[in-house]
Amino acid sequence: MPNSVLIDAGPLIALFDKDDRYHLPVKEFVRDGKFKFVTTTAVLTEVTHMLDFNVKVHVHFLEWVMNAGVILHTITQHDISRIVELTTKYSELPMDFADATLVVAAEKTAIRRIISIDSDFEIYRLPGKEQIENVFTA
């Protein structure tokens, strides 16, 4: 997918939580329209958990996803062995499941850019020691 970028939970939470300190920078980044966002259901789970403070916000997020605000990359049972490898490799961080699914998505889709507010993606590496570039700076 040209101009696709992976998106982590933090920016998605910020986009829908007006009280989040990253709300305005993420909103501007998304409004710019340069990228098509790709994520996993594990990330959606994190986001919906964090948005459960307000049912309207929660539903608004899900409707945005439903209307292709973000494209879902499927993680399959076959991907779990790679997730175990990654979780073990980065156990000192530790790497959470959602981040591992994003790394797997990067490997499977060849998307090498992400929008994240975490520094963890500066540490994670793809095969060949390739880094996933964080294209978001707040």
CATH number, domain with residue 116:
3.40.50.1010
The string of pLDDT tens digits covering residues 43-93 is 999 999 999 889 999 999 999 999 999 999 999 999 999 999 999 999 999
The whole domain housing 85 covers 4-134
108, exposed or middle or buried, with CB in 10 Å at 0-12, 13-18, 19+?
middle
On the question of pLDDT at 17 being above 90, the answer is yes
On the question of pLDDT at 1 being above 60, the answer is no
The structural domain count of the chain equals 1
From residue 64, alpha-carbon distances to 29, 34, 79, 117, 122 in Å are: 16, 17, 27, 20, 28
On the question of pLDDT at 34 being above 60, the answer is yes
Q: How far apart are CA 12 and CA 49, in angstroms?
A: 12
